[in-house]
């Protein structure tokens, strides 16, 4: 893609170890501004960990990482983050708009009486006006996810990092959340990195795929990486990549089949194989 200087995110020889346990190593990747990258791989392959590195929450064990030419800094407004979804308690005294407001000034000290005008704009941008004043605990998974994305976008980040944004959503909500991310990215040229278990059917949503497994990685267009040859080489064992209509199914490594959890109700998605790291 682009050279080092113009990259939104540049990873060079990036290695992460916890003790003697290598999560991934020698990762070299440029993500161009406005590019949309999917990070795929089995559980425990270090996908969320990669997002934490980009957020400046974890230092690399070796190598370098830069965002717009600078080392990632915790709390920087450059990066917006949508953590993996967890359900809010029904009684939680927080409305949708409060959740979005956190993205504007949740980290700031001072009396909580300011009302950012941005908040209404972002709520409208994700189409959440109708339920922004309802208690978040009473909203559906898709509605909550829209508000969490709004929170991440409220700081107008140049880089949006989403961890399994489609997990536990029904197919219709998955589609609408994907469409929301695609539209926002088109309009604002935001660089997007999404950790996911499967490539959504929306063709062309992801420009490239980074597949991490067993400490190794492969990157390229979905057509390059999501093939029997490429993934078999990565896992070091035979993996079948099957295309059914517009879905890509990864089948392999019986020993790992039980370690993967799929979105509920999803029977066709990514049945990824490979070894769970130990």
Partner 1 sequence: MSITFLLAQPFAQHALAAAALVAVTCGLIAPLVVTRGMSFAVHGTAELAFTGAAAGLLIADNPVAGALAGSLVVAVLISTLGARPRERDSAIGAILAFGMGIGVLLLGYYQGFATAATNILFGNIFGVSGSQLLILVVINLLVVAVMATWYRPLLFASVDPEAAEARGVPVARLGLLFLVVLALTVTGAAQVVGTLLVLSLAITPAAAAQRLSASPLVVTALSVAFALTAADGGLLASFAASNIKASVFITSISFAIYLAARLAGPSLRDRRQRHRQTRPIPPADRT
Question: Which chain residues interact with partner 1 by CB under 8 A?
Answer: 55, 57, 74-76, 79, 81-84, 88, 91-95, 98-99, 102-103, 105-113, 127, 130-131, 133-136, 138, 140-143, 146, 148, 151-152, 155, 169-170, 172-173, 175-176
Could you give the CA distance from residue 144 to residue 43 in angstroms, rounded to a whole number? 24
Distant-in-sequence, close-in-space partners of 177: CB < 8 Å, separation ≥ 6: 142, 145, 146, 149, 165, 166, 169
Find the shortest distance in angstroms from Cβ 233 to partner 1: 34
Find the shortest distance in angstroms from Cβ 107 to partner 1: 5
Give the CA angle between residues 85, 44, 221 to the nearest 5°.
85
Query: Pick from 200, 196, 252, 258: which is nearest to 228 by CA?
Result: 252
Shorter beta-carbon distance to partner 1: residue 95 or 277: 95
Could you give the CA distance from residue 266 to residue 244 in angstroms, rounded to a whole number? 14
Shorter beta-carbon distance to partner 1: residue 151 or 190: 151
Structural Rg of the chain based on CA atoms? 19
Find the shortest distance in angstroms from Cβ 63 to partner 1: 21
- The answer to whether 231 and 240 are in contact (CB under 8 A) is no
Shorter beta-carbon distance to partner 1: residue 25 or 176: 176
Find the shortest distance in angstroms from Cβ 179 to partner 1: 9
Find the shortest distance in angstroms from Cβ 182 to partner 1: 14
Shorter beta-carbon distance to partner 1: residue 143 or 271: 143
Could you give the CA distance from residue 23 to residue 18 in angstroms, rounded to a whole number? 7
Shorter beta-carbon distance to partner 1: residue 81 or 217: 81
């Amino acid at each position: 893609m682009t050279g080092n200087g113009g990259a939104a995110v540049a990873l060079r020889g990036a290695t992460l170890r916890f003790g003697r346990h290598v999560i991934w190593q020698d990762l070299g990747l440029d993500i161009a501004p406005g590019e949309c990258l999917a990070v795929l791989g089995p559980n425990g392959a270090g996908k969320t960990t990669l997002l934490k590195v980009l957020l400046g929450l974890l230092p690399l064990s070796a190598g370098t990482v830069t965002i717009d030419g600078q080392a990632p800094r915790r709390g920087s407004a450059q990066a917006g983050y949508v953590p993996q979804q967890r359900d809010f308690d029904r009684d939680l005294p927080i409305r949708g708009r409060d959740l979005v407001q956190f993205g504007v000034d949740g980290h700031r000290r001072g009396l909580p009486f300011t009302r950012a005008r941005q908040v209404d704009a972002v709520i409208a941008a994700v189409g959440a006006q109708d339920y922004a004043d309802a208690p978040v605990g009473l909203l559906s998974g898709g509605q909550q996810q829209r508000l969490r994305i709004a929170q991440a976008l409220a700081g107008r980040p140049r880089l949006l990092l989403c961890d399994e944004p489609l997990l536990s959503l029904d197919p219709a909500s998955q589609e609408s959340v994907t469409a929301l991310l695609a539209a926002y990215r088109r309009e604002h040229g935001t660089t997007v990195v999404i950790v996911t278990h499967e490539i959504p059917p929306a063709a062309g949503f992801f420009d490239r795929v980074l597949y991490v497994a067993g400490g190794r990685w492969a990157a390229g267009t979905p057509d390059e990486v999501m093939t029997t040859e490429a993934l078999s080489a990565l896992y070091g064992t035979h993996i079948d990549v099957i295309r059914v209509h517009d879905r890509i199914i990864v089948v392999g490594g019986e020993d790992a089949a039980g370690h993967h959890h799929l979105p509920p109700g999803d029977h066709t998605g990514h049945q990824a194989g490979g070894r769970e790291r130990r």
